[in-house]
């Protein structure tokens, strides 16, 4: 007699009781296409998405024992989305510089000009930040310089979510206008 397929809930319960990777793998395999598709949607790179599918499984092993999950598919989707967003956020912090051997071999110091230009841009940016209304400046600092998400800013400032979003958008626009004027 063929055994009926187990539901997500039954597999979750079995995993919580046994902490068996085989049980979790059986459950996760049902949704790897969903996880991969979601990763591909956010990361827009097949190889990075395949890596993310594996990393999310590892994340499941750590997080699932400590969470009460009623709807595994929905919970997994949110976990996947958050994983991708964190990857995207952390990749923004990394600066990629093209290697140019001609500059490295050159005896002239033209590359110093770009360093000086960049330093001037930072000074302009600091000046423009000072011209922003206080709430916009606070929003920009928390979001871009302290890498806080909207929800963290809402918690910290007590402002409504839409107001935080508006302050950051307006602050960014005002900074761009100010920077363009100073060119």
pLDDT at residue 143 in the model: 84
Nearest to 76 by CA among 87, 64, 65, 86: 64
Sequential DSSP letters for 140-173: HIIIIIS---HHHHHHHH---HHHHHHHHHHHHH
- Kindly report, residue by residue over 15-46, the tens digit of the pLDDT: 888 988 889 999 999 999 999 999 999 999 99
pLDDT at residue 30 in the model: 92
pLDDT at residue 116 in the model: 63
Q: Give the model's confidence band at 58: pLDDT under 50 very low, under 70 low, under 90 confident, else very high.
A: very high
- Kindly report, residue by residue over 87-132, the tens digit of the pLDDT: 898 877 655 556 555 555 444 555 555 656 677 777 888 888 888 8
pLDDT at residue 2 in the model: 47
Domains, the chain, with CATH or none: 8-93 (1.10.1740.10), 119-181 (1.10.10.10)
């Amino acid at each position: 007699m063929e055994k009926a397929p187990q539901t997500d809930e039954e597999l979750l319960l079995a995993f919580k009781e046994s902490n068996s990777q085989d049980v979790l793998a059986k459950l996760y395999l049902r949704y790897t296409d969903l996880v991969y598709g979601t990763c591909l949607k956010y990361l827009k790179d097949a190889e990075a998405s395949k890596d993310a599918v594996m990393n999310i499984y590892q994340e499941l092993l750590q997080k699932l024992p400590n969470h009460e999950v009623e709807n595994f598919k929905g919970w997994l989707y949110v976990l996947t989305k958050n994983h991708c967003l964190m990857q995207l956020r952390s990749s923004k912090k990394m600066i990629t510089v093209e290697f140019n051997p001609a500059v490295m071999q050159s005896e002239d110091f033209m590359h110093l000009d770009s360093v000086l230009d960049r330093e001037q841009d930072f000074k302009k940016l600091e000046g423009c930040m000072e011209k922003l209304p206080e709430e916009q400046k606070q929003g920009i600092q928390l979001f871009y310089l302290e890498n806080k998400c909207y929800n963290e800013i809402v918690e910290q400032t007590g402002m409504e979510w839409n107001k935080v979003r508006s302050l950051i958008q307006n602050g960014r626009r005002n900074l761009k206008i100010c920077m363009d004027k100073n060119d």
